[in-house]
A and B are shown apart, each in its own frame.
Chain A
Amino acid sequence: MSVTVFENAHIVDPSRGLDAVGSLIVEGRKIVASGADARNQGAPEGATRIDCKGKVLIPGLVDSRVFIGEPGAEHRETIASASEAAAAGGVTSIVMMPDTDPVIDDVALVEFVLRTARDTAKVNVFPAAAITKGFRGQELTEFGLLQEAGAVALTEGRHTISNAQVMRRALTYARDFGATIAHETKDADLGASGVMNEGLFASRLGLSGIPREAEAIPLARDLMLARLTGGSYHAAKISNGLSADAIARAKNEGVKATAGISINNLSLNENDIGEYRTFFRLDPPLRSEEDRLAMVEALRNGTIDVIVSSHDPQDVDTKRLPFADAAAGAIGLETMLAVALRLHHSGEVPLLRIVEALSTAPARLFGLPGGTLKPGAAADFALVDLDEPWIVREAEIRSRSKNTCFEDARLQGKVLQCWVAGRKVFGN
């Protein structure tokens, strides 16, 4: 089996709290040694040696919220094109949302995704399945069979289950299979006509607002149901301080609750919408700067467990419209790491914590391989120059859709190489 030794690397591995200079040794598809002591192990005869020149090796990112257009909207993104974008962003595993056409609510569709990924994708693709059939919010899908087929999570994707009885049953039934319910919460009525954060800026633009409570009220309900059922609940994308407070309280009380946040809500605020820039129409909406800062603090103190790209490719047919008519969502696989590193460069969140939220935590939460550089783990990792500046250029975006919130943005931190199962999938 071929052996590759990455020497002179700055290894950052949150799964062991490791931040040290050392080596990483890969044999075949696995990591066999990593850390400071791996330096003394020496390389076997014929091993390939790569001098990392002090750059950083991190576990490959695990993006637990990625929307892909296959099947049904392949002109926006295919599993193959999403995996190209992922590899360039240092993302080695993606959890694919069931928001496709047809909705992934059936074993055959889970198998289709896994088969397509096996044949066309450069990175690991793990399908998530719908909680209810056709996202109709009524009948539960086959949690057990879906899980056996390879679905790693149950989620209603962009939708919110408004029926509390259905949510209670979903949490209860999922508990029997040890499955996690990942849910985005948006009240069906409160702020239903809204398209951006409620407040002065929305009023000036003449756009209908979404109050923070539209997210926090159904979230509070879900957390109560998680406590009632003992089920495992993941608030997939929170955006404001009210939600973070509710999560912190539930965690304190021993509820099996975790939370995720879109990189956009950590790095942007409502003012970025400017003059009706539809690429900044997002769900949940970009909030006030005060809320963004509350989110950064919630990430730092562990209330928020994971960061997601919420990669959501949209084409001109859904974005080149008046703001209120445009679809929500932005791509993010290629920029997530560099944007998250802003919080490292500004000193707001320690590097280990950022990498943990991007890799170790989501892998643990959804029971996925990866998220660690421990010996024996899959050789999924990225080599990163934390400081290299670059500018996001539309022409260089690998995703089929170009709806990035960071066009022409100056970012610091570039993925040099990305490896999946011991194979280089990106970089020189």
Chain B
Amino acid sequence: MTRSDELPLYPHRHLLGIRGLSPHDIEDLLDRADAAVAISRQAEKKSAILRGRTQINLFFEASTRTQSSFELAGKRLGADVMNMSVASSSVKKGETLIDTAMTLNAMRPDILIIRHQSAGAAALLAQKVGCSVVNAGDGAHEHPTQALLDALTIRRAKGHIGGLVVAICGDILHSRVARSNILLLNALGARVRVVAPSTLLPSGIADMSVEVCRTMQEGLKDADVVMMLRLQRERMTGSFVSSVREYFHYYGLDAAKLAHAKPDALVMHPGPMNRGVEIASEIADGPQSVIQEQVEMGVAVRMAVMQALMDPRRNTGAAQ
């Protein structure tokens, strides 16, 4: 991995969202992540960059892939990683988020990874603890490491992000992934389109620097990247869309719809996928799919973020 003193000092104490990052900050994190990919591809995957540091994963929402990605990232950097399983913790006994955080803070971790069902939870935590906080998803607000790993995947495949046409399709309304991606892709100069039934678009979406498209044909036309979003099961039957059948007919990604995009367009999905709902299996497993690469880039991006936050040139000691 690149020696950290060769890279610019990352100017933030936390990573709470893409909002607040400059294009330069983002490129810097992507550069660091590029270097981290190499570590994961070696037989010897462990480095000592974060040796002696303590990382706590505090996941209030069940998550297999994001939590294991953060855990692996920490371990590959040599940190001691602890997973707080909220299901069996005192949160179930009525302890508030802040009290849980203060308790963990007293154990002097260096970095706290939080996922929570409420927007703003990571920011609230960051105000109360003495260590660095990484937002691993807060309600429908932001999921910055997902946007970074998506950007890394695109940049490695296409060489650049500026000027690309990226179509984000599906449940934009409830998606933190969409919000973080819209911010990041705009910051790096991509043209962002969103495609969704109007019931799944947030109010004021047209003012978020995106082009709103009603049909997949329109949204995918000459697109360089097609990002599909997961549709939660409870939203499939009547409350936001009428049925899985109708949703797949109009918004599910199949070969016919993908044909409107550029022939070398990338197909992405943050996972976990609903095959046959938002994406057809032949596309998910097809040659244009980079869904597996996204998972690999996820570990690299999280290594990069933690390395940047724990830069030894800054006095990032444990909680005071």
Residues of A within 8 A of B (CB): 198-209, 275-276, 317, 320-325
Say if the beta carbon of B22 comes within 8 Å of chain A.
Answer: no
Is A317 a contact partner of B96 (Cβ separation < 8 A)? yes
**Minimum CB–CB distance for B107 against chain A, Å:** 21
Chain A residues within an 8 Å CB radius of B23? none
Q: A200-B208, A204-B208, A321-B97 are in contact. Are A209 and B203 (CB under 8 A)?
A: yes
A208 and B202 CA atoms in complex are apart in Å by 9
Is A200 a contact partner of B139 (Cβ separation < 8 A)? no
Chain B residues within an 8 Å CB radius of A322? 97, 116, 118-121, 124, 138-139
Say if the beta carbon of B141 comes within 8 Å of chain A.
Answer: yes
Produce 1/0 per residue, B274-306, CB < 8 A to A: 000000000000000000000000000000000
Is B119 a contact partner of A205 (Cβ separation < 8 A)? yes
**Minimum CB–CB distance for B223 against chain A, Å:** 23
**Minimum CB–CB distance for B199 against chain A, Å:** 14
Is B205 a contact partner of A323 (Cβ separation < 8 A)? no
Is B118 a contact partner of A320 (Cβ separation < 8 A)? no
Chain A residues within an 8 Å CB radius of B140? 206-208
Cross-chain contact of B139 among A203, A204, A324 (Cβ < 8 A): A324
Chain A residues within an 8 Å CB radius of B75? none
Is B179 a contact partner of A206 (Cβ separation < 8 A)? yes
A205 and B124 CA atoms in complex are apart in Å by 13
Q: A276-B123, A323-B120 are in contact. Are A206 and B204 (CB under 8 A)?
A: no
Chain B residues within an 8 Å CB radius of A198? 203
Is A323 a contact partner of B98 (Cβ separation < 8 A)? no
**Minimum CB–CB distance for A70 against chain B, Å:** 24
Produce 1/0 per residue, B233-272, CB < 8 A to A: 0000000000000000000000000000000000000000
A317 and B96 CA atoms in complex are apart in Å by 8
Is B203 a contact partner of A202 (Cβ separation < 8 A)? yes
Chain B residues within an 8 Å CB radius of A275? 120, 123
Is B179 a contact partner of A204 (Cβ separation < 8 A)? yes
Smallest Cβ-Cβ distance to A324: which chain B residue = B118
Smallest Cβ-Cβ distance to A198: which chain B residue = B203
Is B119 a contact partner of A206 (Cβ separation < 8 A)? yes
Chain A residues within an 8 Å CB radius of B123? 275-276
Smallest Cβ-Cβ distance to B202: which chain A residue = A203
Chain B residues within an 8 Å CB radius of A201? 204
**Minimum CB–CB distance for B6 against chain A, Å:** 34
Q: Could you list 15 examples of A-B contacts with CB < 8 Å?
A: A199-B204, A201-B204, A202-B204, A206-B119, A206-B139, A209-B203, A276-B123, A276-B124, A321-B97, A321-B98, A321-B118, A322-B116, A322-B121, A322-B138, A324-B119
Is A205 a contact partner of B96 (Cβ separation < 8 A)? no
Cross-chain contact of B119 among A199, A320, A323 (Cβ < 8 A): A323
Is A323 a contact partner of B203 (Cβ separation < 8 A)? no
Is A199 a contact partner of B203 (Cβ separation < 8 A)? yes
Cross-chain contact of B138 among A203, A204, A206, A321 (Cβ < 8 A): A206
Chain B residues within an 8 Å CB radius of A202? 202-204
**Minimum CB–CB distance for B302 against chain A, Å:** 21
A200 and B119 CA atoms in complex are apart in Å by 15
Is B96 a contact partner of A321 (Cβ separation < 8 A)? yes
Is B208 a contact partner of A203 (Cβ separation < 8 A)? yes
Say if the beta carbon of B142 comes within 8 Å of chain A.
Answer: yes
A321 and B97 CA atoms in complex are apart in Å by 7
**Minimum CB–CB distance for A277 against chain B, Å:** 9
**Minimum CB–CB distance for A170 against chain B, Å:** 32
A200 and B207 CA atoms in complex are apart in Å by 7
Say if the beta carbon of B176 comes within 8 Å of chain A.
Answer: yes
A208 and B140 CA atoms in complex are apart in Å by 9
Chain B residues within an 8 Å CB radius of A276? 119-120, 123-124
Chain A residues within an 8 Å CB radius of B204? 199-204
A6 and B19 CA atoms in complex are apart in Å by 58
**Minimum CB–CB distance for B21 against chain A, Å:** 15
A116 and B178 CA atoms in complex are apart in Å by 55
Smallest Cβ-Cβ distance to B172: which chain A residue = A203
Chain B residues within an 8 Å CB radius of A208? 140
A39 and B119 CA atoms in complex are apart in Å by 61
Chain B residues within an 8 Å CB radius of A209? 203
A194 and B206 CA atoms in complex are apart in Å by 20
A98 and B118 CA atoms in complex are apart in Å by 30
Smallest Cβ-Cβ distance to B204: which chain A residue = A200
Chain A residues within an 8 Å CB radius of B120? 205-207, 275-276, 322-324
Smallest Cβ-Cβ distance to A208: which chain B residue = B140
Going nearest first, the 8 A-B pairs with the smallest beta carbon separation are: A200-B204, A206-B141, A322-B118, A276-B120, A203-B202, A206-B140, A206-B119, A322-B121
Q: A317-B96, A320-B98, A322-B124 are in contact. Are A207 and B203 (CB under 8 A)?
A: no
Smallest Cβ-Cβ distance to A322: which chain B residue = B118
Is B96 a contact partner of A320 (Cβ separation < 8 A)? yes
Chain B residues within an 8 Å CB radius of A317? 96
